[in-house]
Chain A
Amino acid sequence: MEGIFYTLQDFMLHSKNITYIVMGIVLIVLPLFWRFLSGRDQKKRTY
């Protein structure tokens, strides 16, 4: 059941908390996805 927010402060606090957790997950998932995507690419020599 959805909690009741009495003030905008309550709402922002709740939604921002969840958003920061989601962004943390995104910061882990996207690099992993990139590794999966380019895992078999031939490595470029940079020297």
Chain B
Amino acid sequence: MSHDKTRDDKKILTPFNVISGIIILVGLVLTVLRFTKGIGAVTNLDDNNPWGLWIGFDLLCGVALAAGGYVTSAACYIFGLKRYHSAVRPAILTAFLGYVLVVFALHYDVGRPLRLPYPIFFSPGTTSLLYEVGLCVFLYLTVLFIEYSPAALEWLGLKKIRNIIVRMTLVLTIFGVILSTLHQSSLGALFMIAPSKLHPLWYSGYLPVYFFVSSIFAGLSMVIFEGSLAHRYMHHKMDETHLAESTGVALGFAKAAAFVMMGYVCIKVIGLAMDNNWHYLATGWGAWFLVELIGFVALPAFAYALAARERNLRLARWAAVWSILGLVLNRLNISLVAFNWHLPSAQRYFPSWMEIAISVFIVTVGVVVYRFITTHMPIFYEHPDYRTDH
């Protein structure tokens, strides 16, 4: 770590701190407004559109983009690809924070934080998909907390507990993959209750499969994207192993993402054929559907393939950003754009500036916490006391 860098770390009024400080301040004011004046005071939600940006972006995108945790740990511990080991901790941390923020964001929508344990412990609605999603997110968040905790325990110097938890890694990974498979797909299944509201190009009996498969490449893309940002801004915190393995991680994940994305395009076309929805492709909605499927899935898949083939790290990183935008577009299309598509434009939903500001606030809180943890805890480097552990 260089001397200049150390001095930089101690500055308080950096551009990052000032901008994130302002966003957090605005977010806190809007939070008070939401919980004192009600959901109507800060959102454009109504009876036609009870789910808005907070569900479409914070929850659906948040859960999908947090899939990097189960994908990376499954690759490393279940498939035995140990060359991706250095990516596991950053991926688990991103996933853990992602899920924490999903639950945090859900409070703004539901509005009664003290009632959070009710669906799990007091009145479980066992026939509801939402109950299954809630239970899985509750259990998986617990699993992610335990998976992440060795980094915090190493930082705190609690060797005994840390060693017990590390021995549970494989079990936790398997549990995490099962829970992720369940709730990633169930989030898609939630929309199967509304066949008359969701446009036929996006509605399908295979929605759960689409959501699960797209979460895999979203997770892979997120690991590449997060790795490229970490390289730019947290480079001084990385040890030699992390630096040496990072290119292999990005290109290996790019190759996997390319194949999964092409498979995703194929099952989407099969879905079109099964429901005989070809004629919708000639409409404006069809053009938008093709923009999503070709422009934001097939093309980035091809970019990933080229990057993996030519060993072009820069292209892999751009393809990761492209794919993440594609995933966000897909989730927003399903939950907002193509939802209630038949309603007149005056009754369509568009988020208020306060909904957008709260979403930005939640993402900013995540970035600030991520920065704090990666600055203080052994995420990008191995703690000197445990180097010989694996």
Contacts and interface: CB of A to CB of B under 8 A. Distances in A.
A14 B278 CA distance: 12
Contacts, number: 43
Interface string B308-336: 11100000000000000000000000000
Interface in A2-44: 2, 11, 14-16, 18-19, 22-23, 26, 29-30, 33-34, 36-40
Interface string B273-314: 111101100000000000000000000000001001110000
Nearest to A37: B305
B81 interface: no
Interface stretch (B93-101, B128-136, B184-192, B257-265): B257-265
Contact of B275 (A15, A29, A40): A15
A36 to B, nearest CB: 6
Interface of B: 255, 258-259, 262-263, 266, 269-270, 273-276, 278-279, 305, 308-310
A17 B275 CA distance: 12
Given A36-B305, A40-B309, A30 B263 contact: yes
Give the interface SS of chain B, mostly helix, strand, loop or mixed.
Answer: helix
B270 A26 contact: yes
B273 A33 contact: no
A34 B270 CA distance: 19
Interface residues of A, number: 19
Q: Which 8 A-B pairs rank lowest in CB-CB distance, beginning with the nearest?
A: A19-B273, A26-B266, A15-B276, A18-B273, A22-B273, A2-B279, A37-B305, A33-B262
Contacts of A2: 279
7 contacts: A14-B276, A19-B273, A22-B269, A30-B266, A33-B259, A36-B305, A37-B259
Contacts of B275: 15
